[in-house]
Structure 1
Amino acid sequence: MNMSSAFHVLLLMAGSLVGVCGVSTKGIAPNNSIIAGINISSTAEALHAASINLSRDSGNGQPLTPQNNYNGWVNPEDLTPMPQCIAQQDQSAWLSVMTKCTSKRCTSHFGFICTHGQWLTQLSCLSVEFSPDVVRPYLPYCGRSVLAKAQLYQWIRHITGRTWLVDVGDGNGLQNLSPASLAKGYAPFDVTYDAPACLTSSASTPSMELFQHVIASCSFTGLTQHTGNAARPWEYSASLKSMIVLDTETVGYDLIQRSLGGGDYFDKECFCSSFTMDTDNEPCSRPGQDQIDLTKERLWLNATCGPTSLSDHWTDRLKTTGFAYIPVEDWQWPRFVADMSKRVAELPDKCATDACEVDSRGYCKVRRAVDRACFCHNISYESCGSSCQMFETRIEYVKWLHDLCGNVHDWHGLPDTWRQLAAPTVLDLIPWRWTMKPSKDSDAANITGVEPIRATETCPSNEWKLGSLALVNLSALLAAYIGGRTTIHRLVRSFSWHVSPRCWVFNGIVVASLQLLANWLNAFLVQTSPGYEDVPLVQSILFWCTMPRPTWVLILLLGVKSFEPMDLSPAKSFLFAEIILQFLSSYYMVMTVNYGRQHNFYFGGLERVERGGSANVMYAGALVWLAFNTLAIFQLLRVLRYMRLKEKLTRSLMDEIRVSEETPLKRGEGRDKEYGTLSGEGINKRVSQKVPVGLYGVVVITMLLWIAQWLFWGGFLGLSLEEFCPPRLETLTAVWVAISLAGITVGTTTLDKRT
Structure 2
Amino acid sequence: MVHNATSNTTQLLPWGWSITPQDDHLLLCPSASRILGTFALVNALVTALSIPFGNRVFLNWLTHRRFFKNPDSVDHRWTWIITVGLQLSANALVGYIFQRSPGYNANFKIWELMLFFTVRPRLSWIALTVLGLYERSSTRRQRRLHKTENSKDQPIPDRPWGSAAKSQAFAEVALQIMALYVMGTTVHFGARHGYYKLKTTTYKSLPLSAHLMYSGAMFYLVSGCLIIFYELCGLLMEYGDETHESRNEEDEHSGSILLFVWVNLTCTWMASWIFWAGFVRLAGNQYCPPKLYAQGSIWGAFSLFGIAIGAGAA
* Short-chain TM bin: 0.7 to 0.9
> Which residue, 229, 234, 252 being the options, matches 1:634?
229
The answer (yes or no) to whether the contact 1:560–1:696 under 8 Å persists in 2 is no
Partner of 1:587: 181
CA gap of 1:741–1:500, structure 2 versus 1, over 3 A, is: closer
Unaligned runs of 5+ in 1: 1-416, 442-453, 651-682
Cα drift, residue 456 of structure 1: 5.6
Aligned equivalent of 1:613: 208
Q: Match of 1:507, as an amino acid?
A: T
1:553 aligns with one of 102, 123, 127: 127
- The Cα offsets for residues 464-515 of structure 1, whole Å up to 9 and x where unpaired, read as 1111111111111111233356749989xx9x935443x1122111111111
Which structure ranks higher in relative contact order (CA pairs < 8 Å, sequence separation ≥ 6)?
Answer: 2
Scaled by the length of structure 2, the TM-score of the pair is: 0.78
> Which residue in the other structure is 1:431 paired with?
14
Contact 1:547 1:710 in 2 (8 A): yes
**Unaligned ranges ≥5, structure 2:** 137-155
User: Cα deviation per residue 1:510-538 (whole Å; 9 max; x = unaligned)?
Assistant: 11111111111111111112333533211
**Code of the aligned partner of 2:41:** L
Correspondence 1:96-107 to 2 at 5 A: none
Encode CA deviations 1:209-262: one digit per residue, 9 max, x unaligned.
Answer: xxxxxxxxxxxxxxxxxxxxxxxxxxxxxxxxxxxxxxxxxxxxxxxxxxxxxx
> Aligned partners of 1:692, 1:571: CA distance in 2, in Å?
13
Structure 1 runs (4+) deviating above 4 angstroms are 484-491, 683-686
Deviation at 1:689, TM superposition (A): 3.6
CA separation of 1:706/1:500 partners in 2, compared to 1, >3 Å: closer, same or farther?
same
**Equivalences for 1:414-425 in 2 at 5 Å?**
425=8
Separation in 2, partners of 1:488, 1:701 = 30
Residue in 1 that maps onto 2:250: 688
- Structure ranking higher in helix proportion: 2
Aligned with residue 508 of structure 1, among 80, 102, 110: 80
Query: How far is the alpha carbon of 1:460 from its aligned partner?
Result: 1.4
Alignment partner for residue 747 of structure 1, among 289, 310, 313? 310
| C-alpha spacing 1:456/1:602, structure 2 compared with 1 (3 Å) | farther
Specify whether residues 461 and 728 from structure 1 end up closer, same or farther in structure 2 by C-alpha distance, changes over 3 A only: same
Partner of 1:534: 107
> What RMSD over aligned residues (CA atoms) do the two structures have, in Å?
3.1
In the alignment, which residue of structure 2 is the partner of 1:603?
Answer: 197
Identity %: 30
Q: Could you report, residue by residue, the CA deviation over 1:3-51 in whole angstroms, capped at 9, with x for unpaired residues?
A: xxxxxxxxxxxxxxxxxxxxxxxxxxxxxxxxxxxxxxxxxxxxxxxxx
Matched, 1:525 2:97: yes
Partner of 1:475: 45
Q: Residue 639 of structure 1 contacts residue 691 of structure 1 at CA under 8 Å; is this kept in 2?
A: no
In the TM superposition, residue 698 of structure 1 has moved relative to its aligned partner by 2.6
Structure number with greater Rg is 1
**Cα pair 1:508 1:573 within 8 Å, conserved:** yes
AA partner of residue 553 (structure 1): A
Alignment equivalent of 2:170, drawn from 562, 572, 576: 576
Report if aligned partners of 2:183, 2:220 keep a CA contact under 8 Å in 1: yes
Q: Is the 8 A contact 1:562 1:692 kept in 2?
A: no
**CA shift at 1:457, angstroms?**
2.6
Give the Å deviation of 1:638.
4.4
How far 1:686 sits from its partner (Å)? 4.4
Query: Structure 1 residues 637, 585: closer, same or farther in 2, change over 3 A?
Result: closer
**CA distance in 2 between partners of 1:435 and 1:498 (Å):** 47
| Partners of 2:20 and 2:185 in 1: CA distance | 21
Shift of the 519–645 alpha-carbon distance from structure 1 to 2, 3 Å rule, reads closer
1:737 maps onto 2:300 in alignment:
yes
The residue number in structure 1 matching 2:29 is 459
Matched, 1:710 2:267: no
- Paired residue for 2:261? 699
Aligned pairs, how many? Answer: 280
> Any conservation in 2 of the 1:548–1:706 contact (CA below 8 Å)?
yes
Residues 53 and 59, structure 2, Cα contact 8 Å, conserved in 1:
no
- Equivalent residue for 1:356? none
Q: Is 2:99–2:105's contact at 8 Å kept on the other side of the alignment?
A: yes
- In structure 2, relative to structure 1, the CA distance for the partners of 1:608 and 1:498 (3 Å cut) is closer
Where 1:738 maps in the other structure, the secondary structure is helix
Other-structure match for 1:351? none
Partner residue, 2:152: none
Q: Deviations over 1:49-102 (max 9, x none)?
A: xxxxxxxxxxxxxxxxxxxxxxxxxxxxxxxxxxxxxxxxxxxxxxxxxxxxxx
Q: Distance in 2 between matches of 1:601 and 1:487?
A: 51
Pairwise CA distance, 1:578: 0.6
Deviation at 1:543, TM superposition (A): 0.8
Cα distance in 2 for residues equivalent to 1:593 and 1:702 = 20
Normalised to the residue count of structure 1, the TM-score between the two structures is: 0.34
